[in-house]
Structure 1
């Protein structure tokens, strides 16, 4: 009989935790974040999940993916897009302002070190968003509203 590799033995020995955490997926690798920060993000998402906070397990990874996908588009200037169907999942995938709002909800729930790392990553992405999008001269300047909501929106994308 051939020898079994140690990794396969460890996988068989591992048992998932009981209760609510059994249903929650294990934190995946989030690009450009340290594993300690990914674990802190996963803990924060899990603790706030279900209390109408707008955060769920995997929200940060999905929002960062959407944010980077928007900034990776070609062209000198980018226009914020709206989704065709209007549901939250489609809006998160297409609309960069929704993705940035989700990230803004996650940041205050993190411990100090993880918050600093995520804020540093967001500062770089925000600077690129500021450079590549144009300000909307007709947008209302609400002091409680974030600056990324005052960028020009492509109104033809949802037709």
Structure 2
């Protein structure tokens, strides 16, 4: 009986680490075991581990779980003549422009952008600005993935593994 709680915990932890919605780790969750039974013949460490994993899956179906994505703070320095194109490109990447300021013949554009939209941005920015713009970014926070995008991510994951 002493191995019951650690076995359940192991099943729960493995399920959370491997992800529930789309294979990404599940965080900020509290699990409480309220009750259980033990039978000398039918109970095993593996059975309780599986029970912990299945309980998390069942709870997840009842919960309103969401996918979160990392959001980056971004600062783009661009010559004035490319500002419109740069802002347009950022907007196409789901960026939220939070402000602009002038510094000489440069415009500094501040905003936030999902990390998923950033790969290849340095090349695109060089192309838009003839190599004269630069950018800096740092992690800011996490936000819920828009439902239309999340549905595609979950669908792709469940389809890849033949899950319902």
TM-score, normalised to structure 2, is 0.20
TM-score, normalised to structure 1, is 0.21
- Name the one with the larger strand percent: 2
- Name the one with the larger helix percent: 1
Higher Rg: 2
